[in-house]
Each structure stands twice: as structure tokens, then as C-alpha cells.
A and B are shown apart, each in its own frame.
Chain A
Amino acid sequence: MAEAILRVFRGSREGGQPADYRVPLVPGMVVLDALHSIQAHQAPDLAVRWNCKAGKCGSCSAEVNGRPRLTCKTRMDSLPLDQPVTIFPMKAFPLIKDLVTDVSWNYKVNRKIPPFQPRPGVEWNMDQRDVDRVQEFRKCIECFLCQNVCHVLRDHAKQEQFGGPRFFVRVAGLEMHPLDGVSRTRLLKDELGIGLCNITKCCTEVCPEDIHITDNAIIPLKERVVDEFYDPLLMLVRKIRGATTP
């Protein structure tokens, strides 16, 4: 039977190194299946997160041959198998063990974002076209691969000042909700640091849901921030009136 070699990172915060495992191939096998096979037959304590195994929950993110992927959607037959397949944990998050990282920071960021609040006296009636516009952002399965590749987080570790692509998508899904009545522009500018993003589009490239994170979420949100806080005409008007910026 054909085999593949998986080179899987094994270790914890105290350190670690990759270990090689030979795994028999099955038609249609995905990387997550191969990891499960290792657990069942070779390394029962190999730490892996997963749930749905169908690309719907976003639990099984890892770096496969250096590319951030959902392991449940990465077919073994899509990878070159004449050399070991390397599987490493997401680099932008603190390691817990093996392929499992501490993603709790994301949940803290989410808590800063004011939830949906309807405009006063709103009628619960919407046009499908308005709904369609925002559905793209709501497809996000929170795999955090976009957070993992964002250089503001991965290389510059600006977790304190920056929300990351996932939460710009989240804000876009709320801000562009046809009936939402809250402004999150100041939050974007001050708390989520959207200005730090210099639109390299790394996030968009890795999104397993094909959300156009940069073009459809981040850039329009940046424009809103600019319109509200940096519009020269508005600034002049405010200065004359002696009003403070909102």
C-alpha cells in the first residue's frame, strides 16, 4: 500500500522538534485523516484540534508544507508525496502542545466589538440584495488562518493594538447589516488599529471560505474611518464650529 511520511511538530512551550510518521494512504484522504491515523496507531497523545471534518467549523488549522491550511480540506493527493509532508502549528499563536495553539486572544478581541443593535423603530424587513452584500462576511468559520498570516500579528506581535483580519470581517458583517444602528468606526481606529493594516492581502489568500477580506471588508472600513476622522473639509467645519470629533 502506498504510504506518505508526515513530519509533524511534537512539543510544548518547553521546546520540541518534528517527528516523522509513515501513514498508509487511503483514496480521498485529507491531512486530518492522516493525523488521526497517527493518533490511532503511533502517537495516541498527538494533540490536534478538530470538530466537523467538513470545512465548517474552522478548528483544524495548521501549517502544511509551510502553508496555513485547514487540515480537513487539504487532500493528501494534492501534496507532493515524494518528500515528507510537514505539519506545524500556527505560528502567530502561543503553542500549547504539538499542533494545538492558544487562540484565546481572539475571543478577547471579539468581546470589544459592540454586538448588533437595531436602529430605533426599525421594521424587520430586508431586501435580499442588502442581505447578500453582507453574507460574505458572515461565512467566516473562525479558523484564524488570516490572523496567523497577518504580519502585523505574526511578525510584529501587535496583538495589543490590532484586531486582525478576522475581526475586521466581523465588524464589516455588523456595520453592513442592513438594520444595524451602532457605529464601530472609532473602535476600528483606536481599539482595533485598522490603520496598521497595509493591505498586503495575505489574509485573503489563505481564507478557506474565499472571503475577499482586504477588498470587501478592510478597505471599505478604512474608508469609513478616513471619512469620519480625517476628512479635511469636515475637520475644518468642526474647527470653525468648535466641535470635537465624534
Chain B
Amino acid sequence: MNAKYETHEHDVLIIGAGGAGLRAAIEALAQGARVGVVCKSLLGKAHTVMAEGGIAAAMCNVDEADDWRTHFRDTMRGGKFLNNWRMAQLHAQEAPDRVRELEQWGALFDRTESGDILQRAFGGHTFKRLCHVGDRTGLEMIRTLQDRGVHQGIDVYMECTVTRLLKDGDRIAGAFAYWREQGRFVVFKANSIIIATGGIGKAWKITSNSWEYTGDGMALAYDAGAELMDMEFVQFHPTGMVWPPGVQGILVTEAVRGEGGTLKNKNGERFMERYDPKKMELSTRDVVARAIYTEVREGRGTEHGGAFLDISHKPAEYVKRKLPSMYHQFLELADVDITKGPMEVGPTCHYVMGGIRVEAETAQASIPGLFAAGEAAAGLHGANRLGGNSLSDLLVFGRRAGLAAALHAKKAGTPAIDGAQIEQAERELLAPFDRAEGESPYQIHHDLQNIMQNLVGIFRTEQDLRSALTEIEKLKARSARMRVEGSRLFNPGWHLSRDIQCMLAVSEACTHAALARRESRGAHSRLDYPKLDDAWGRKNNVIRKKGDTMELFEKPVPEMPDDLKQILAEDK
């Protein structure tokens, strides 16, 4: 291998340092593997830190009638039965242990009267199930995991971006990356790689996602030959801030509704009565987001194009204690005191149910040595994710990925690194510096966000999706002529020029899959095919790279064993 690159060697390399990546790292380390974690930001800043409402786990501390079966059923129902049943089963069964483990590593949850972990209600969950710390559960979780990991001995490469997975024949051999600080290149050799890079929300204009969520992991896996699945299912969280414009898209936790918040339109009607009279505000996110969107579209929205979310009927002290960061967020950013009056909210792009197709037990992708967990992986959530099921997903499948990756690394011999792959990756990265003229990556990103927002949003049509594909093709051509100014020293424009390639790939995958699925299910709503179609309920859309084109094919949803079918049939 070329000695001109800084090189590090690990048994297991993890890309991403949110909940899934860190939980995977802790597990792989416990298996005796040498573990490296690469992340684009500083440690502790990943999106997990923003998770507010809680971790869903059938601990039965508040509602004794709860158990894993009910959690499993809620998850499958929320996902409109497109979920991988085995993942949903493992998730429901293992989540309580993962929460207890967090507590034993020092996480401090809110308590019940009797001193157990307190659980709150959330959309789509039959029972009070979300273990939480006020509305900053994610912060508690990521601090706990990062300290555990660091003290156990993981190596963390902060502010480092992977741009290519390296392969030795069919198997994974390592990764090529650049340090964001100095712009220097680095090569990682690894027997196993776990993708834990989160989602793709930065491809949309109104989003709760930060700059990091550009679909890197999915694009890396896709380029390396792995399969993506369920990419049409993008979750629009019903409640993002809508006013003032500067804060548009910032998340308003579902815990506001979990704690009793009501949704009203400008006429003062609790409109959820018309969309889901049984569950009302605690219906699933897909339903509530469509409801708000529809109210606004039909002229019953608030002044700034949203709905009113009100928690001010609860005592002010209670609101401040249970929703402290929401209280401050609205007071400081929108001049609204939520203990006195309603918030204005509307849907914001939040999460992708789709991602890298993996085996349920091992989180292994369709390439030997490649694993994926958390938002970057597909399967658990089906067509729509329930709130609170993400943090538990990170813990359950982060651990499983870490375990399987460590075992794989032990069995696999040392891979060979191919210098030609590295050189090509380097050339691609540096090309935008070499052009004397060309477009700014910011302009292309801006245009992509508008296309995805307007044409691949909450409601979709064949016509819009076809135009989106045409527009994405144009953007791909434009992105090949991007120009970057300045040096390689901490240069966000340059960093974005790379992230755009990933966003274009995942946007294309999302649009293709959305066009193919001629029905409405969960988060995917087609105005031209407004009904559920049983035939589509039995298949997932899978995408892989074929030459230079994106190939889409259908895969049957795995058949569920009878005992689980029985659980789904029970009505509670």
C-alpha cells in the first residue's frame, strides 16, 4: 500500500458516533476487538443528542399490562406491516435490557413514585412506554455511551469524513477518509465496518436534521454494492417550528402531545377528531403529519401555515419540568411562552425508515464484513416509525451489529488494500479544486432541497416524482462541474461538495422507490394511489447499483411465523 497516507488498522471500524455507533463500539470492544469510531463532528454532537421524548421499552413500570408482544404489535401496526418481523420481535424483546444496561452505566432517568424508571405515553404506543429524562433523553443517552466507550478504550477519529469503502474482491477491506480540520487523507484498514451514519434529512428544505444527515453511509454502501431497502419511506415529523422563518423545521418533541398537548386549527377545532378519533393527537406520526398538512392546504392553517399545539392548560411548573427545552426554545427563538399560549407547528423532514438492507440477527448487509445499524439500516420500522422506537433501535441493533462485526473480524483474514481505489477516491475529492470555473456546492444543495421538498414530500404523484427524477439528473450533471474555493483547511464548501454526491444518490433512490410503490402506506402517500394495496403490502422495494445505473427490484416481505401472526391478530 502507498506509504503516503496516514493509516490506522482496526478489527472493527464504525462510521458514525451516535447511539448506534457508540453502542456497537462498546459491544465490539467487549468481544476483544480493536475498535475505531470515525465521526464527522465532535464526539457527543451526533443527532442522538437531540432526541427528546424517550426510549420505547416494555419495562412495565407504569402500565403492568404491557409486554414485548404489545410493543411488537404496536411497532408492526405503526409500520403498516412492512417491517421485518424478526427485527421488530428482537427489538421489542431486548429493549428493556438495553435500557437497564444504560442505567447501570450511569444514565439517570426520571422516576416513578416507587423509584423505578418513569415511562410516558407516545404516539402509536398502547401503553406508557417511553423511558425519559425530561425532554433531553438523547443527551443523557449519548453522554452515557460516549463516556462508557471512551473509558473502555475505543479510538475516536473526530471530524473525519469517510468518502469511500475499500474492498478486497467481494469483501470489505477498509475505508478512505479526510480530516475535516486539515484536509489531509487517511486510510483505515478493517475486517469489519459498521455503518451508523444516521439519515438523509438534509436533502429536504424543511428539516429537523443537521448538516451531517446527508445519507453518507447509505451512499457508501450502495457504491460498494450493498442493497438499500424501503427508501420511499421518509418520516415527516408532524411538529416542527414554522415561525419565525429562521427556525423553520426545528423539532418540537412529540412529548408535548404525550404530556397532553392538543392540536387545533385556526377555527379552534381539534381536527384530529376527523383523522383518528380514537387516538387523536397520539396517532402515529404519518397520520398526524398528513392531518396538519391537509388542514393547512384546505385553508384552516394558522397565520404562518401550521397548526396550534397547546400545552398551556397544564400547570406552568409541570410544563417547565417535563418539557424544559421546549419551554426555552419557544421563549428564546419565537417569543412564545408555551405555558401561556399555543405553539405554531407543521411537518418537518425528520427520519428515513429505509436504509441499508441487513440481516435481522446480525445487522450484516449484503456484502461480507459490512454491517449497518440505527437509522442507516432498514427493516425495523417498515413504512412508518413510532416515536421512541429510534433510541431503542440504536441500542438493540447497535449492540447486535457490534457483536456480529467483532465475530466476523475474528474469522476473516487480513484484507489487502488496493492502492488504485484510494487514488481514485482522492482524485474525486480534489477535482472541485481543480476547476477554474463552476457552480458553488451551496447552490446545488439549495436546489436539491427545493426539489425534494416540493416534489418528494408528504403527498406524492407520479408526475411530481417523474419531474423530480429529471431534476435530480440535471443536478448530477451540474454537480460534476462544481467548483470549490479556498484551501483544504477546514473548508465547509469543500466538505459540502462531497456530501452532495451522497444526498443525490439517496434522493434518487428515494424518488425511484416512491415512484414504484403505487399505493399509500405509512409515511408514503400517493395522491394518485390513495389506498393501501395488499399486493404492495407483501413486498419491499430494494435498490442496488448496476454499472452506472440504479436498479430497483421487489423482494417479498419475509413470512411471519404463526405465533407472531397470532399476536398481531389479538386486539387490545
CA distance A122 to B103 in the complex (A): 12
Say how far B99's CB is from chain A's closest CB, in angstroms. Answer: 11
User: When the two chains form their complex, are residues B108 and A97 in contact, meaning their CB atoms are under 8 A apart?
Assistant: no
Tell me whether B486 and A44 are in contact (CB under 8 A).
Answer: yes
CA of A66 to CA of B75, assembled, Å? 50
Tell me whether B140 and A138 are in contact (CB under 8 A).
Answer: yes
Complex-state Cα separation, A47 to B181, whole angstroms: 10
> Do A96 and B181 touch (CB < 8 A)?
yes
B-facing mask of A28-65, CB < 8 A → 1, else 0? 11100100000111001111111111111111000000
Contact of A45 among B43, B245, B493 (CB under 8 A): B493
Q: Would you give the 0/1 interface string for B322-366, flagging 1 where the beta carbon is closer than 8 Å to chain A?
A: 000100110011100000000000000000000000000000000
Q: How many of chain B's residues have a CB under 8 angstroms from any CB in A?
A: 65
Q: A45 contacts B139, CB within 8 Å?
A: no
Q: Which of B109-117, B461-469, B518-526 contacts A (4 or more CB under 8 A)?
A: B109-117
Distance in Å from the Cβ of A169 to the closest Cβ of chain B? 12
Residues of A within 8 A of B45 (CB): 51-52, 57-59
A40's nearest neighbour on chain B, judged by CB, is B442
CB of B333 within 8 A of CB of A73, answer: yes
User: Out of B109, B181, B243, B491, which one reaches A28, CB within 8 Å?
Assistant: B243
What are the residues of chain A within 8 A of B134 when measuring CB–CB? Answer: 135
Q: How far is the CA of A110 from the CA of B147 in the complex (A)?
A: 8
B residues less than 8 Å from A30 (CB atoms): 246-247, 333
Q: How many A-B residue pairs have CB under 8 A?
A: 161
With A28-B243, A125-B115 in contact, do A138 and B108 touch (Cβ < 8 Å)? yes
Cβ–Cβ contact B106 & A174, under 8 A: yes
B123-171 contacts to A, CB under 8 A, are 133-134, 136, 139-140, 143, 147-148, 150-151, 158
Q: Which residues from A are CB-within-8-Å of B143?
A: 138
Determine if A231 is an interface residue (Cβ-Cβ < 8 Å): no
A171 at the interface (CB under 8 A from B): no
Given A33-B246, A52-B49, CB of A46 within 8 Å of CB of B41: no
A44 and B441 contact, CB distance less than 8 A? yes
Per-residue contact bits, chain A 190-225, to B (CB 8 Å; 1 contact, 0 not) = 000000000000000000000000000000000000
Q: Which residues of B contact A26 (CB under 8 A)?
A: 244-246
A59 to B211 alpha-carbon distance, docked (Å):
12
- B250: interface (CB < 8 Å): yes
Contact present for B334 and A56 (CB under 8 Å): no
Contact A116 B246 (CB under 8 A): no
Q: Which residues of the partner chain B approach A102 to less than 8 Å between Cβ atoms?
A: 181
Which residues does chain B contribute within 8 Å of A58, judged by CB atoms?
45
Query: Which residues of the partner chain B approach A73 to less than 8 Å between Cβ atoms?
Result: 332-333
The reply to whether A111 and B151 contact each other, CB–CB distance below 8 Å, is yes
Confirm or deny: A141 has a beta carbon within 8 angstroms of a beta carbon on chain B.
yes
Decide: B210 and A53 in contact? CB cutoff 8 A.
yes
In the complex, what residues of B have CB within 8 A of residue A28's CB? Answer: 243-247, 333-334
Contact digits for A119-142, partner B, Cβ 8 Å, 1 yes 0 no: 000001111100100110011011
Could you tell me which residues of chain B, from 488 to 513, have a CB within 8 Å of some CB in chain A? 489-494
Q: How far is the CB of A212 from chain B (nearest CB, A)?
A: 15
Whether the Cβ atoms of A115 and B493 lie closer than 8 Å is: no
Taking a contact as CB atoms under 8 Å apart, the answer to whether B110 and A139 are in contact is no
Q: Please give, as numbers and ranges, the residues of chain A lying within 8 Å of B550 by CB-CB distance.
A: none
- The answer, yes or no, to whether B212 is at the interface (CB within 8 Å) is yes
Give every chain A residue within 8 A of B219 (Cβ-Cβ): none
Q: How far is the CA of A139 from the CA of B151 in the complex (A)?
A: 21
Tell me whether A57 and B491 are in contact (CB under 8 A). Answer: no
Docked Cα-Cα span, A125 to B334, in Å, equals 39
Which B-chain residue is minimally distant from A41 (CB atoms)? B442
User: Are A47 and B490 in contact, with the CB atoms below 8 A?
Assistant: yes
Interface members, chain A 139-178 (any B CB < 8 Å):
139, 141-142, 174, 177
Within A172-188, the residues touching B (CB, 8 Å) are 174, 177, 180
Q: Is B195 an interface residue, CB under 8 A from the partner?
A: no
Provide the residues of chain A in CB contact with B484, threshold 8 Å.
Answer: 44-45
Q: How far is the CA of A44 from the CA of B148 in the complex (A)?
A: 37
Chain B residues lying within 8 Å of A142, measured Cβ to Cβ, are 44
> Assuming the A-B contacts A54-B50, A107-B43, A115-B106, are A27 and B493 also in contact, with contact meaning beta carbons closer than 8 angstroms in the complex?
no
Task: For B243, give the chain A residue with the smallest CB separation.
Answer: A28
Closest A residue to B332 by CB, please name it.
A73
Query: For the complex, what is the distance from the CA of A174 to the CA of B492, rounded to whole Å?
Result: 37
A56-B110 contact, Cβ under 8 Å, with A45-B487, A124-B103? no
Compute how far the CA of A50 lies from the CA of B213 in the bound complex, rounded to whole angstroms. Answer: 13
- Nearest-neighbour CB distance to chain B for A110, whole angstroms, equals 7
A235 beta carbon closer than 8 Å to chain B: no
B42, B158, B333, B440 interface centre (most CB from chain A within 10 Å): B42
Question: Nearest residue in B to A54 (C-beta to C-beta)?
Answer: B250
Q: Given the known inter-chain contacts A107-B43, A142-B44, please indicate yes or no for A55 contacting B492, CB distance below 8 A.
A: no
State the Cβ distance, A105 to closest chain B Cβ, in Å. Answer: 12
CA distance A102 to B179 in the complex (A): 13
Max chain B Cβ within 10 angstroms of own Cβ: one of A56, A96, A139: A56
Question: Contact: A39 with B110, CB < 8 Å?
Answer: no
Q: In whole angstroms, how far apart are the Cα atoms of A35 and B118 in the complex? A: 41
Closest beta carbon of chain B to A106's beta carbon, Å: 9
Q: Known contacts A51-B45, A51-B211, A54-B250: does B147 contact A46 (CB below 8 Å)?
A: no
Query: Is the Cβ of A55 less than 8 Å from the Cβ of B328?
Result: yes
Does A12 interact with chain B (Cβ within 8 Å)? yes
B110–A44 CB distance below 8 A: no
**Pairs across A and B, CB under 8 Å, 9 listed:** A27-B245, A30-B247, A44-B491, A47-B490, A52-B210, A73-B333, A96-B490, A125-B116, A174-B106
Supplied contacts A33-B246, A138-B108, A138-B139, 13 more A-B pairs, CB within 8 Å? A44-B485, A45-B487, A45-B491, A54-B329, A57-B44, A75-B332, A100-B490, A110-B147, A124-B100, A124-B104, A128-B111, A135-B108, A139-B136
